[in-house]
Amino acid sequence: MPSEIDSSEYLIAPDPSRAGLSRLVAGHDHAGARIEAPVVEERPLTIFLNSREIVTAMTIGDYPEYLALGFLSNQGMLAPDEEITGIDFDPDIETVVVRTARETDFEEKLKKKTRTSGCAVGTVFGDMMEGLEGLTLPPAEMKSSWLYALSHKINRTPSLYLHTGAIHGTVLCVRDRPLVYMEDVGRHNAVDKVAGWMRSGGVAGADKILYTTGRLTSEMVIKTALMGIPVLASRSGFTAWGVEIARQVGMTLIGRMRGKRFICLSGDERLIRDADPEHQPDEPARAGRKGAGG
pLDDT in tens, 278-291: 888 777 654 444 44
Residue 1: predicted pLDDT: 38
Whether pLDDT at 126 is above 80:
no
**pTM for this predicted structure:** 0.88
Question: Closest by alpha carbon to 178, among 233, 216, 138?
Answer: 233
The rounded distance, in Å, linking the Cα atoms of 226 and 115 is 19
Lowest mean pLDDT across 132-136, 149-153, 174-178 = 132-136
Residue 270: predicted pLDDT: 93
Determine the 3-state secondary structure of 273 from DSSP.
coil
The rounded distance, in Å, linking the Cα atoms of 192 and 94 is 18
What average pLDDT does this structure show over 164-168? 85
> Do 266 and 247 contact (CB within 8 A), yes or no?
yes
Domains and their CATH numbers in the chain? 43-132 (3.10.20.10), 142-288 (3.40.140.10)
Which stretches of 16-112 are DSSP H helices? Answer: 64-74, 106-111
The rounded distance, in Å, linking the Cα atoms of 239 and 5 is 31
CA atoms within 13 A on the CB side of 206: 6
